[in-house]
């Protein structure tokens, strides 16, 4: 009887132990699962919070960027106006005042008109020559100097931007990078950046000095440079990366412009030949038979015919010039 009781008790103890071993693991698993779920929830909450913060920051940056671009577009529309004679002289890089330029143009026009009268031509031809020499030739010289100076500026502007990129990556402030360009770069890059740094040193804002630089050098490249700097100043971001992208874009535009010039070389040669033919033929006829063209210069009707022919000749040259120009 005692053995049976001991056997039953041992059996009960074994059953309790087995039951405890079988039941305990699921409770531990449930607790571990709850802990893992709570940790995942906290992580997801933190991630969602960080994502929301980054999205709000990006939305704010996009909003500032759109506002800055819209403001720049409005300012650009206001600035698209014809330049005065003084501004054109400054853009050409000529150290002469507007008054001296007008006096020199007037004297040159009078000299050409007197020279035409001395050679025995009519008054109409003399007046036309005086007007062309006094107004057309000086403005053409200024335009030629402007285009030459702008071409030199564009050819070296990407290198100047690369100097800023390398300086910013090395830890230099942008003002010191601008001073390095003003000291080391060739003309006219150094002249423009020297005026830029002088304006900053005198207390002008970056937007004001860049606007003045654009007035002195009205080029799309300078406008892009201004927009990149001002947007980075207002919205933040990686300045070196933005200017590096701008430098690559400017170099690509320069390569594309060179390809266009090479493809349009044949058309330019044809236009030069066609444009020079009337003058060459008139000179040859004048040499071979001087009396044949004498009525054009000696009579009033001939002067009118010569003036009309010159007008249509100049109009044809301008039309061919516009057809050959391809803006990049």
Determine contact, residues 192/153, Cβ cutoff 8 Å: yes
107 is a domain residue: yes
17 is a domain residue: no
CA end-to-end distance (rounded Å), the chain = 112
Give the pLDDT of the chain (328 residues) as one tens digit per residue: 555 665 566 566 555 554 554 444 444 445 555 566 666 555 555 555 554 556 666 666 566 656 655 655 555 555 556 788 888 888 888 888 888 888 988 898 888 888 888 887 777 778 888 888 888 888 889 999 999 999 999 888 999 999 999 988 888 888 888 889 988 888 889 889 999 899 888 888 888 898 889 988 998 889 889 888 888 887 777 888 888 888 898 888 888 888 888 888 888 888 888 888 888 888 888 888 888 888 887 888 888 888 888 888 888 888 888 877 766 5
307 is a domain residue: yes
> 211 and 319: one domain?
no
DSSP 217: S
* 3-class SS of residue 264: coil
Q: For residue 253, give both structure tokens.
A: 């535009």
Determine contact, residues 193/201, Cβ cutoff 8 Å: no
Residue 71 φ/ψ, nearest 5 degrees:
-70, -40
> 273 and 223: one domain?
no
> 193 and 273: one domain?
no
Q: For residue 169, give both structure tokens.
A: 């990556």
Instruction: Quote the pLDDT of residue 132.
Output: 84
> 206 and 279: one domain?
no
DSSP 133: I
Nearest to 216 by CA among 234, 243, 198: 198
> 129 and 77: one domain?
no
Taking the C-alpha atoms of residue 113 and residue 123, their distance in angstroms, rounded to an integer, is 9
276 is a domain residue: yes
> 184 and 153: one domain?
yes
Single residue among 222, 251, 280 that ends a domain in this structure: 251
178 is a domain residue: yes
Determine contact, residues 76/105, Cβ cutoff 8 Å: no
12 is a domain residue: no
Q: Cα separations (Å) of 220 from 36, 206, 213, 236, 247?
A: 59, 18, 12, 23, 13
Taking the C-alpha atoms of residue 225 and residue 186, their distance in angstroms, rounded to an integer, is 19
> 101 and 190: one domain?
yes
CB count within 10 Å of CB 275 equals 15
> 119 and 177: one domain?
yes
Instruction: Quote the pLDDT of residue 148.
Output: 92
Instruction: Quote the pLDDT of residue 30.
Output: 55
69 is a domain residue: yes
Single residue among 198, 223, 251 that ends a domain in this structure: 251
20 is a domain residue: no
> 286 and 232: one domain?
no
> 138 and 227: one domain?
yes
Taking the C-alpha atoms of residue 19 and residue 22, their distance in angstroms, rounded to an integer, is 5
Where does residue 94 rank: exposed (0-12), middle (13-18), buried (19+ CB within 10 A)? middle
> 153 and 221: one domain?
yes
- Domain residue limits at 74: 43-81
Q: How many structural domains is the chain composed of?
A: 3
Cis omega (within 30 of 0) for bond into 188: yes
Taking the C-alpha atoms of residue 168 and residue 170, their distance in angstroms, rounded to an integer, is 5
> 232 and 107: one domain?
yes
Single residue among 196, 226, 251 that ends a domain in this structure: 251
Q: For residue 29, give both structure tokens.
A: 């698993």
């Amino acid at each position: 009887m005692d053995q049976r009781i001991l056997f039953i008790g041992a059996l009960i103890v074994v059953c309790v132990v087995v039951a405890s071993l079988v039941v305990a693991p699921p409770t531990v698993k449930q607790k571990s699962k709850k802990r893992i779920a709570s940790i995942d929830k906290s992580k997801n909450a933190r991630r969602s919070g960080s994502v929301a913060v980054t999205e709000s920051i990006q939305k704010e940056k996009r909003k500032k960027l759109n506002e800055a671009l819209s403001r720049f577009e409005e300012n650009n529309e206001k600035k698209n106006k014809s330049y005065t004679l003084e501004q054109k002289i400054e853009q050409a890089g000529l150290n002469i005042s507007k008054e001296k330029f007008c006096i020199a143009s007037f004297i040159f026009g009078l000299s050409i008109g007197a020279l035409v009268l001395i050679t025995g031509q009519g008054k109409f031809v003399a007046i036309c020559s005086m007007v062309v020499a006094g107004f057309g030739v000086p403005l053409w010289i200024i335009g030629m100097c402007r285009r030459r100076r702008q071409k030199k500026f564009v050819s070296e502007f990407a290198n100047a931007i690369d100097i800023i990129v390398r300086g910013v990556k090395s830890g230099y402030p942008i003002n010191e990078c601008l001073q390095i360009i003003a000291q080391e770069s060739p003309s006219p890059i150094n002249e423009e950046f020297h005026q830029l740094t002088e304006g900053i040193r005198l207390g002008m804002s970056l937007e004001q000095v860049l606007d003045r630089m654009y007035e002195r050098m009205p080029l799309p490249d300078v406008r892009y440079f201004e927009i990149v700097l001002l947007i980075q100043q207002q919205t933040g971001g990686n300045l070196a990366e933005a200017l590096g992208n701008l430098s690559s874009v400017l170099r690509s535009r320069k390569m594309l412009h060179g390809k266009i010039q090479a493809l349009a070389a044949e058309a330019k040669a044809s236009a030069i030949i066609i444009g020079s033919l009337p003058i060459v033929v008139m000179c040859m006829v004048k040499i071979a038979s001087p009396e044949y063209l004498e009525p054009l210069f000696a009579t009033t009707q001939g002067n009118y015919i010569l003036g009309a022919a010159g007008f249509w000749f100049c109009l044809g040259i301008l039309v061919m010039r516009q057809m050959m120009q391809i803006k990049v």
